[in-house]
Amino acid sequence: MKDLNFLWISLTFLFINSTHAIEPLKPLHTEFPPKIDGILDDPVWQKAPSESGFKIYYPDYGGEMTESTKVWYAYDRENLYFAFMCYDSEPDKIKTSIIARDKIRPDDWICINLDTFNDQQSLYAFYVNPMGIQMDSRAIGENEDMDADFVWYSEGKINESGYAIELKIPFKSIRFSSQEPVEMGIIFERYISRKSEAGTYPPLDPKWGHNFNTQMRTLIYENVKHYQLLEILPAVTHSQNSAIDQGKLKSQGGEGEFSLTGKYGITSHLIFDGTYNPDFSQVESDAGQVDFNQRYALFSHRKKSQYFFL
């Protein structure tokens, strides 16, 4: 009987711990959004919940990061807000640069990995270096699109304690569930360049490797504004033909073309893309090859610029 009681107590303890481990994060809903300037003096950050305890996942699993990190999170009906304080014992050695967007990989940076459907199938990644320069990507399954440039806002500043970063991500810039409340998965990430050290909160479990989607904490957002996706991109091209006649350049007329590209969100999971009269002038053709006495059919590698949809 004692053994059974001990087993029951043990199982109850494990259940309580498991329940606590998956408890969702609840961001602060605010009517007074922060100013995105890289200075963490806004009242919202005094009230918002915060997380710390980042653990290393590269180069080794499980240890505490050598520099501490703290992150706050809040939202209003139209935007997500995040703030990072990345402490550094040697702030003069923080690696950063003022560089083109999407080129910050060698720098120190933080990243918000956001599974907006909380379905472990896809995620958005929003990177920011200490100067506030952005890099972003969209991953679906094993495929990551680094060419995705979403509309969001960030600012960073180096200070005597390390560096601080603030971000604003509009709900209309991302796709998410139409259900209420909205649930999203999240992993906060930091990289320290000079130490080649990367860590996350929540910590990654070695048995799952670097699979972020299966190890996220859940965020709960209530009373957010849902948007109907509608994008229309018109374009006009014009060509002019000229020829030299008796030493003079004479126009032989020209012609114009109109094209239209559109995107419409039928549901949060289904998007219709359409193009009228697409301009193929920018599509790179395949290099010429001689098809003579070839044992196998010629194969042309696809070029990225060849991808289009009708």
Dihedral over Cα of 97, 101, 105, 108: its sign: positive
The pLDDT value recorded for residue 297 is 56
Alpha helices in 158-306 (DSSP H): none
Length of the chain: 310
- What is the average per-residue pLDDT within 147-172? 95
Residue 74 — very low, low, confident or very high, per pLDDT cuts 50/70/90? very high
pTM given for the model:
0.72
Helix then strand count (H, E) for the chain reads: 2, 17
Whether residue 82 contacts residue 190, with contact meaning beta carbons closer than 8 Å, is answered with: no
Residue 17 — pLDDT band, cuts 50, 70, 90? very low
Pick the residue with more confidence: 307 or 180? Answer: 180
- Is it true that the peptide bond before 234 is cis, omega within 30 degrees of 0? no
Tokens of 19: 């329940």
Residues forming a β-bridge with 9: none
pLDDT cut 70: percent of the chain above it: 73
pLDDT at 253 over 90: no
pLDDT of 14: 40
**Is pLDDT at 190 greater than 80 in this prediction?**
yes
Does the pLDDT at position 279 exceed 50? yes
- Looking at residues 134-146, what average pLDDT do you find? 89
Would you say residue 308 has pLDDT above 90? no
Going from the N-terminus, what domains does the chain have, and what CATH number goes with each? 24-221 (2.60.40.1190), 230-306 (no CATH)
Q: Which amino acid is at 76?
A: D
| Average pLDDT value for residue range 196-204 | 96
Q: Where are the alpha helices (DSSP H) in 139-270?
A: none
- pLDDT of residue 310 exceeding 70: no
Strands 28-29 and 69-75: parallel
Q: Which amino acid is at 1?
A: M
Q: What is the pLDDT of residue 218?
A: 96
Q: Which residue has the higher pLDDT, 233 or 306?
A: 233
Mean pLDDT of the chain: 82
Q: What is the mean pLDDT of residues 9-32?
A: 65
pLDDT band at 62 (very low <50, low <70, confident <90, very high): confident
**Residue 256's pLDDT is what?**
74
Comparing 132-136, 189-193, 270-274, which segment has the lowest mean pLDDT? 270-274
pLDDT of 8: 42
